[in-house]
């Protein structure tokens, strides 16, 4: 199912599909290896419009809410453990 990183459920795994943002935005994401095709896991979203935390490779990354809304992902069928 295609959704954004923001809407993805916590604990769920997903594959990054594409980005609803410009070249600068994508370049910034690439610096932490957020590229199309990478598998990520959403750890949590902080309350009060706080950042989304994901796990990618062996690091966690905190991503501002509005940035998370611009990252389109394909959620894995299973993989949800919440």
Partner 1 sequence: MKILLMGNPNVGKSAIFSRLTGIDVMISNYPGTTIELKKGKMKLDGETAEVIDVPGTYSLDPASRAEEVAVDMLQEGDLVINVVDATNLERNLNLTLALLERNIPVITVLNFWDEIRHLGIHIDVKKLESCLDIPVVPVVAVTGEGIKTLVSRLHEAKAHQKRYSEEERWENIGKIIREVQQITLKKHTLLEMLEDLSVQPLTGIPIMFSVLIVVFWTVRIVGETMIAYLFDPLFALYLPLVTDLSRMLGGGGVIHDILLGTLIAGQIDFIQSMGLLTTGLYVPLAMVLPYVVAFYLVLGILEDSGYLPRLATLVDAIFHRLGMHGLAIIPMLLGLGCNVPGALSTRILEGRKQRFIAATLMAIAVPCMAQTAMVFALLGPYGIKGLGIFFMTLFAVWLTLGFLLNRFLGGETPETFMEIPPYRIPYPASLGKKLWMRIRSFLTEAVPFVLLGVLIVNILYVFGIIGWIGEIAAPVIVGIFGLPKEAVAALIVGFLRKDVAVGMLLPLGLDMEQLIVASVVLTMYFPCVATFVVLFKELGARDLLKATAIMIVTTLLTGGILNALL
**Residues of the shown chain interacting with partner 1 in the complex, contacts defined by CB under 8 A:** 10, 27-33, 35, 43-44, 46-51, 53, 57-67
CB of 20 to partner 1, least distance (A): 14
CB of 2 to partner 1, least distance (A): 23
CB of 66 to partner 1, least distance (A): 6
Q: Among residues 31 and 78, whose Cβ is nearest to partner 1?
A: 31
**Residue entry with tokens 């894995």:** 76
Q: Among residues 2 and 81, whose Cβ is nearest to partner 1?
A: 81
Distance CA 45, CA 53 (A): 6
């Amino acid at each position: 199912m295609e959704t954004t990183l923001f809407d993805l459920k916590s604990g769920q795994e997903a594959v990054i599909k594409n980005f609803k943002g410009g070249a600068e935005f994508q370049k910034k994401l690439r610096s932490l290896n957020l590229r199309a095709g990478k598998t990520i896991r959403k750890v949590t979203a902080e309350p009060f419009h706080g950042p989304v935390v994901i796990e990618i490779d062996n690091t966690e990354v905190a991503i501002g809410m509005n940035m998370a809304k611009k990252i389109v992902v394909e959620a894995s069928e299973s993989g949800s453990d919440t």
